[in-house]
């Protein structure tokens, strides 16, 4: 690989060898299923923090259930087609 020298003297990879089309959109779960599941789980974590702070184990266990429900709801919504579509990534020619 070719290298270039930065202003501080450190070597860096040549930017022309990076395939930006492959890494342009990693798709970090920006979908209705992801947002809904994470929102429910955040509510559960908030309830759990309150239950833990006031030393009430019942509220803490209910919060664990809310987090589990958020995970299940997210997976169900993804199965219904509301999640991200699987991307077809091009193979990296340098790994062959």
Which distant-in-sequence residues (6+ apart) come within 8 Å of 45 by Cβ? 63, 67
- Among the ranges 5-9, 10-14, 33-37, which has the highest mean pLDDT value? 33-37
Q: With bands split at pLDDT 50, 70 and 90, how would you rate the model's confidence at 45?
A: very high
94: which strand partners?
none
Q: What is the pLDDT of residue 88?
A: 57
| β-pair partners for 12 | 4
pLDDT at 93: 57
What distance in Å separates the CA atoms of residue 78 and residue 72, rounded to the nearest whole number?
A: 10
The domain spans of the chain are 34-81
Q: How confident is the model at residue 94 (pLDDT cuts 50, 70, 90)?
A: low
Asked whether residue 87 carries a pLDDT value surpassing 70, the answer given is no
* Integer Cα distance of 49 and 92 in angstroms: 44
Which is it for the CA torsion 73, 76, 82, 85, positive or negative?
positive
| Spatial distance between the Cα atoms of 6 and 12, rounded to a whole number of angstroms | 7
State the pTM of this model. Answer: 0.64
């Amino acid at each position: 690989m070719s290298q270039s020298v930065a202003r501080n003297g450190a070597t860096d990879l040549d930017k022309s060898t990076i395939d930006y089309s492959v890494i342009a959109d990693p798709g970090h779960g920006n979908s209705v299923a992801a947002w809904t599941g994470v929102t429910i789980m955040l509510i559960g974590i908030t309830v759990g923090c309150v239950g833990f702070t006031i030393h009430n184990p019942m509220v803490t266990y209910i919060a664990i259930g809310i987090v589990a429900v958020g995970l299940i709801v997210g997976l169900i919504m993804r199965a219904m087609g509301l999640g991200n579509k699987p991307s077809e990534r091009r193979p990296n020619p340098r790994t062959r």
